[in-house]
Amino acid sequence: MDDNPFEEETESTITRGIKKFLEVRYPGAWYKIHGGPYQEAGIPDIVGCHEGHFFAFEVKRPRKKRHVSDQQKYQMSRIAMAHGTTAVVTSKEDVQEVMLLWLTNK
């Protein structure tokens, strides 16, 4: 990890902020997924259910938003094909946009 105090937030900090935001603004069941040797590769960082709908968010730092692995793309496509909502996000504002779009179209 870079010790530069002027560096953007870490992915971990962004993820914690997004999860707290979801828990307060969109009550349901929200989980931070921690990868491990027994987990299938590419599962999104935050998954959850709000009002009976499944959401999956892959969290990236703003400069890394386009760095989505093939495994992450594959897992997100599986969720989308099952009618869940997926997105690559870099902030609470990105998540808010996804949630408002879903609420508008449900």
62: domain CATH number?
A: 3.40.1350.10
Residue 80: Cβ within 10 Å count: 13
- Average of per-residue pLDDT across 10-22: 96
Residues 9 and 41: their CA atoms lie apart, in Å, by: 24
Please choose, from the candidates 46, 49, 41, 102, the residue with its C-alpha nearest in 3D space to the C-alpha of residue 75.
Answer: 41
Residue 53 reports pLDDT greater than 60: yes
Residue 31 reports pLDDT greater than 90: yes
Reduced to 3 states (helix: H, G, I; strand: E, B; else coil), residue 29 is: strand
- Average of per-residue pLDDT across 31-56: 94
Does residue 57 lie within any of the structural domains? Answer: yes
Does residue 6 lie within any of the structural domains? Answer: no
Does residue 3 lie within any of the structural domains? Answer: no
What is the domain extent for residue 87?
11-105
The tally of domains found in the chain comes to 1
- Average of per-residue pLDDT across 56-75: 94
Does residue 50 lie within any of the structural domains? Answer: yes
Does residue 2 lie within any of the structural domains? Answer: no
Expressed in percent and rounded to 5, the helix, strand and coil fractions of the chain are: 40, 20, 40
pLDDT at position 22, please? Answer: 98
pLDDT at position 3, please? Answer: 57
Residue 1 reports pLDDT greater than 90: no
- Average of per-residue pLDDT across 5-32: 91
